[in-house]
């Protein structure tokens, strides 16, 4: 009975995968996301073992004494996977999935050293290096939303035709896209990065973020909130009450996954 139940569950999952992933053209995105997460976890495990100088784990790649950062390998993987994906005609084929996986691995290796590329300095284990982990988390969240079928700015509404072959509500859709883009931009300028990016997929988030107070130190706050003003004081109070506890929680989660930066760096 148990074997029959397992077989039935396997058939159900296979049918679901064929219908919801392959049938909707999301195979490459799913393979990309799985490879991206796996590569990020692997490279973080690797660098943590190297940091601890454990004997059973290979060290850094240093031909001729030159330390080659894994962002270099990531760029190679991205080029191979990206170009390979362009020449594969069938998006549901095994070859398409493989190239998407290679591209996902390369993207993870590059984004894991995003802070290094941004600062043009080896800040991997410094406080600035936490930016790389934040960027990786954002990339995973956005890919996950796309895998669920959401499209940025509601682009999945485009191309829907009525019986006369004319785009349905073209003007309404265009105005909706413009409004969503504007509110998301305002939200990002107010320093609410996660809310703004999520708002590109779910417009309600960017709308709420746009009408609420900006974070202190954000471009919007510097332009609109005068020093000593009531708005700036409210923004600082809200930052201390709500944002800082959340920031401590996300920082602790990032340190748990990726490792804690070196003290004092």
Amino acid 163: pLDDT: 46
The dihedral through the CA atoms of 70, 76, 82, 88 has a sign that is negative
**Contact assessment for residue 152 and residue 200, using Cβ atoms and an 8 Å cutoff:** yes
Residues of the chain with pLDDT under 70: 1-9, 153-173, 264-265
Asked if 218 and 211 touch (Cβ cutoff 8 Å), the reply is no
pLDDT reported for residue 164: 47
At residue 165, the pLDDT reads 45
Specify the pLDDT at position 59: 81
Q: Where are the domains of the chain?
A: 1-149
CA Rg value for the chain: 23
Which value, to the nearest 10 degrees, does the dihedral of the CA atoms of residues 148, 152, 155, 157 take? 50
Q: Tens of pLDDT along 66-116?
A: 888 999 999 999 999 999 999 998 888 899 999 999 999 999 999 999 999
DSSP-assigned letters across all residues of 139-185? HHHHHHHHHTT--GGGGGGTT-B-TTSPBTTHHHHHHHHHHHHHHHH
DSSP run (H or E) holding 248: helix 244-258
Task: Write out the two tokens for 235.
Answer: 């923004």
DSSP 57: S
How many residues in total does the chain contain?
265
What pLDDT, in 10s, does the model give residues 62-76? 887 788 899 999 999
pLDDT at 71: 94
Which residues touch 144 (CB under 8 Å, ≥6 apart)? 33
Neighbours of 166 (CB within 10 A): 9
Contacts for 248-251: CB closer than 8 Å, 24+ residues apart: 250/134, 250/137, 251/130
């Amino acid at each position: 009975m148990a074997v029959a139940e397992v077989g039935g569950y396997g058939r159900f999952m296979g049918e679901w995968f064929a219908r919801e992933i392959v049938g909707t053209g999301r195979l490459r995105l799913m393979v990309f996301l799985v490879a991206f997460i796996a590569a990020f976890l692997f490279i973080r495990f690797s660098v943590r073992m190297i940091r601890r100088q454990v004997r059973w784990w290979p060290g850094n790649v240093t031909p001729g004494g030159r330390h080659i950062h894994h962002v270099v390998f990531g760029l190679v993987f991205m080029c191979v996977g990206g170009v390979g994906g362009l020449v594969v005609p069938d998006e549901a084929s095994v070859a398409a999935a493989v190239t998407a996986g290679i591209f996902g691995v390369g993207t993870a290796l590059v984004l894991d050293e995003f802070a290094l590329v941004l600062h043009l300095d080896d800040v991997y284990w410094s406080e600035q290096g936490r930016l790389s982990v934040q960027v990786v988390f954002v990339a995973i969240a956005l890919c996950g939303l796309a895998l669920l079928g959401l499209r940025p700015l509601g682009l999945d509404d485009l191309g829907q035709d009525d019986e006369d072959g004319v785009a349905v509500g073209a003007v309404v859709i265009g105005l909706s896209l413009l409004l969503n883009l504007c509110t998301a931009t305002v939200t990002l300028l107010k320093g609410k990065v996660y809310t703004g990016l999520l708002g590109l997929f779910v417009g309600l988030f960017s709308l709420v973020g746009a009408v609420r107070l900006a974070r202190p130190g954000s471009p919007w706050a510097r332009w609109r909130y005068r020093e000593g003003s009531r708005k700036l004081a409210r923004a600082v109070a809200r930052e201390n009450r709500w944002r800082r506890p959340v920031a401590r929680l996300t920082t602790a989660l990032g340190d748990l996954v990726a490792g804690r930066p070196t003290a004092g760096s």
